[in-house]
Amino acid sequence: MFQFGDKIKAILFDIDGVLTDGSITLDAQGEEVKSFHVRDGQLIRFMQEKGIVFGTISGRKSTAAETRMKALKIDFVRLGQEDKLDAYVQFKKEFKLKDENIVYLGDDVIDIPIFKEVGLAIAPADASPFVLPHVKHQTRKPGGRGVLREVIDALILERGWNIWGEDRPGIGFKR
């Protein structure tokens, strides 16, 4: 399982190949259609209530991704970033974070510069083999199948946070 330590304050992720399976589907008007796993978004608000910042840096720009990130209330969204490292530096500055405070989830060679900087680099099970030397962990799930949720669940368990108990911030679940 993952080992986060007590310094992690943010989860930053790529979209294509992490939140999606990396497929590009175009509708009749040429707009991208993306499929996101519902579980990835279920506990983001809970984590934000616990002080975890969420951000995404994606090399591709799409209306579908923008709409989904807005629905999830992601704190930092940068789409269409050819140079992800510039956006990463902006993320750290905006939220007053150090490299050691950040988990980054990415799946391809465009993510390597960020992998080399962050406190904890994680890739999906089906990530490019070229990124594997640069990550500490791989998820059990492939991209688009709950990768972010797998990481969120592991952090919740490691920190001992109770999603059902008295400290529950009203995430809307009933037992």
Confidence of residue 32 (pLDDT cuts 50, 70, 90): confident
Is there a domain that residue 52 lies in?
yes
Q: Average of pLDDT values for 56-64? A: 94
Is there a domain that residue 164 lies in?
no
Give me the pLDDT at residue 2, please.
81
Q: What are phi and psi of 144, to 5 degrees?
A: 85, 0
- What does the alpha-carbon distance between residue 17 and residue 107 come to, in Å, rounded to a whole number? 6
Provide the domain limits for residue 137: 10-159
Is there a domain that residue 86 lies in?
yes
Is there a domain that residue 170 lies in?
no
Is there a domain that residue 46 lies in?
yes
* Total domains in the fold of the chain: 1
Is there a domain that residue 140 lies in?
yes
Decide if 52 contacts 74 (C-beta within 8 A). Answer: no
- Percentage, residues of the chain above pLDDT 70: 94
- What does the alpha-carbon distance between residue 50 and residue 139 come to, in Å, rounded to a whole number? 23
Is there a domain that residue 167 lies in?
no
Q: Which of 123, 148, 119 is nearest to 56 (CA)?
A: 148
Give me the pLDDT at residue 14, please.
98
Convert the pLDDT of each residue in 121-156 to its tens digit: 999 999 999 999 999 999 999 999 999 999 999 999
Enter the tokens of residue 119: 């406190």
CATH assignment of the domain containing 43: 3.40.50.1000
The yes-or-no verdict on residue 172 having pLDDT over 60 is no
Confidence of residue 165 (pLDDT cuts 50, 70, 90): low
Is there a domain that residue 5 lies in?
no
Instruction: Please give the model's pTM, rounded to 2 decimal places.
Output: 0.91
